[in-house]
Structure 1
Amino acid sequence: MTLDALPPHQGGADNLARLLAQALLAGHWQPGSTFPRELDIGSHFSVSRNQVRNALASLTAAGLLERTAGRGTRVRDIGEWHLLDPLMSGWMTGLDNLDPQLIKAIYAFRYSAEPVVAGLAAQASQAEDIERLENAFAGMESSADNVTSRDEHAEYDVAFHDATYRASHNLVWRQMGHLLRPSIMALIHHSQHRTNTLDDSLARHRHVLEAIRNRDVGAAETAAKEVLRRTAIDLGIAT
């Protein structure tokens, strides 16, 4: 695809990197395809070649692009993207039109990780963790029935998952939850706009909360899997 479909650039190498990265994350250019030349990017966005080079350096460092002398710049395979890089997390923030391949990759990771995290939370959660989960769930309930409140509901949904990661009291998982927040938000936005009712999703989240509250490790793991199975249905990657 061409540069013409992208929105105007608002100045600065960082903003240019964000614009180009979000286009890549949305599938504007597919893995293996040739990326526009520095000269064409600079001309299209009316920016200096130095700004373009700095932006492309950020994209390359995050694993999105591969630059080879004599061969130009190509989009790397999604498996090479550094999805947990803080830069990547920043670029994903506010993005709800992820490439379908990326959606499947993020979902697969969450399906393998979050049941484990929920089980750890059932073991290690403290009173403030339960309160954090309850508050997030209450927000989900209060915003579930109004279609115009879907963005608010998504924020509470993300807060619920974040609270689960924090309740594990495992330093690595807590950091992972923080880094995954933008991608979790993107998947939640994408899934919620494909369903008319959130009742089933709410019921499944309630089971996670109850299992963690009751310190039932097995039930927490199972409930977390059921939440993600609902997500897969809403994303259209399962029936």
Structure 2
Amino acid sequence: MTSSPSKPIARPNIAEHLAEEIFSGRYHPGDFVPREMDLCERFAINRSAVRSDLRQLVDAGIIERISGHGSKVREYSEWHILDAQVTDWLTRYAAPNPEIQREILAFRLDVEPYVAMTAAKRAKARDLVAIEEAFEGLGQNLRNATCEEERRLHSECDVAFHEAIFKATHNIVWAQLSHILRPSIFMLVSMSNENAPDPEESLERHRRLMESIRLRRPREAFLASQAVLAGTAAALGLEHSTSSLGRSVELPHTAPEPIFNGK
């Protein structure tokens, strides 16, 4: 009887290891990560394998190679944050990192109030149904969240609520962006839902946002979206200020527009 060939042992993934340490905050922008030779010794792999893995981080905009010095973590603004691999690392490793949480929240503060305002102008009947269904799921899972799975479903409904608002703009860029941003939004939502001091008040803020969109009130939708995100910031213990774009925007005072009958 011949024995079946054993599977080769997978070598350590240096890119994955360093991504975890960078995204979790062990290394910050401006810090140098361990040198190639140190990584070779630490993980018992050859230098070409280390270079190949470091190249993944370079291509993602996370580190830069400096001749004679090593590899340095780049500023957050240089990271290819919408790259699928970077988004995956972000979702799995960035939860303990308040700096990255703050960057994501700042982006949402600058973008989502405008998205909500646009949705209040353009949402069709089927969009309002999608927003309402996500909201109903949000409330149901909030009240029944007695285990980890139910808490996860609550967060999934929360993300679906925001995603439906993006889609209600009927702009293909916003719709695609909501899909790309989903993992990072889920990370903030799940953490804020766990730490929310008053979940019922959070639910009420979401309800006000939904109603302002349904009633075609763009100004109210803008402000309601800011209130939802202010609650997220408070739950995460992050400093909150009105978004830089939101501070200077002149909000419309127009009357509600008629609801589209499209399906």
Letter in 2 for 1:117: V
Match of 2:89 in 1: 91
State the Cα deviation string for residues 68-108 of structure 1 (Å, max 9, x = none): 11111111122322222222112223446242111111111
- CA–CA distance in 2 between the matches of 1:130 and 1:49? 55
Question: Comparing 150-159 with 50-59, which one deviates more in the overlay?
Answer: 50-59
Runs of 4+ in 1 over 4 A off after TM superposition: none
Deviation at 1:117, TM superposition (A): 0.3
Q: Contact between 1:33 and 1:75, CA under 8 Å: does it hold in 2? A: yes
Question: Comparing 95-104 with 169-178, which one deviates more in the overlay?
Answer: 95-104
Question: Counterpart of 1:203 in 2: which secondary structure?
Answer: helix
Deviation at 1:46, TM superposition (A): 4.2
- CA–CA distance in 2 between the matches of 1:174 and 1:90? 19
TM-score of the superposed pair, with normalisation by structure 2: 0.79
Q: Which residues of structure 2 form unaligned runs of 5+?
A: 1-8, 241-263
CA separation of 1:78 and 1:159: change in aligned 2, threshold 3 A:
same
- CA–CA distance in 2 between the matches of 1:11 and 1:107? 37
Q: 1:49 aligns with which of 47, 50, 54?
A: 47
Q: Contact between 1:96 and 1:187, CA under 8 Å: does it hold in 2? A: no
Question: Comparing 144-153 with 127-136, which one deviates more in the overlay?
Answer: 144-153
Q: Which residues of structure 1 form unaligned runs of 5+?
A: 1-9
Query: Within 5 A, what are the aligned runs for 1:21-100?
Result: 21-95=19-93, 97-100=95-98
Query: Within 5 A, what are the aligned runs for 1:1-239?
Result: 11=10, 16-95=14-93, 97-145=95-143, 146-148=145-147, 149-238=150-239
Q: Contact between 2:197 and 2:235, CA under 8 Å: does it hold in 1? A: no
CA separation of 1:139 and 1:28: change in aligned 2, threshold 3 A:
same
- CA–CA distance in 2 between the matches of 1:43 and 1:215? 62
Q: Contact between 1:11 and 1:47, CA under 8 Å: does it hold in 2? A: no
CA separation of 1:161 and 1:155: change in aligned 2, threshold 3 A:
same
Q: Contact between 1:96 and 1:189, CA under 8 Å: does it hold in 2? A: no
- CA–CA distance in 2 between the matches of 1:172 and 1:104? 24
The root-mean-square deviation of aligned C-alpha atoms, in Å, is 2.1
Q: Contact between 1:96 and 1:190, CA under 8 Å: does it hold in 2? A: no
Percent of paired sites with the same residue = 39
State the Cα deviation string for residues 168-219 of structure 1 (Å, max 9, x = none): 1112211221221111111112222223441111101111111111121111
Question: Counterpart of 2:89 in 1: which secondary structure?
Answer: helix
Q: Contact between 1:136 and 1:160, CA under 8 Å: does it hold in 2? A: yes
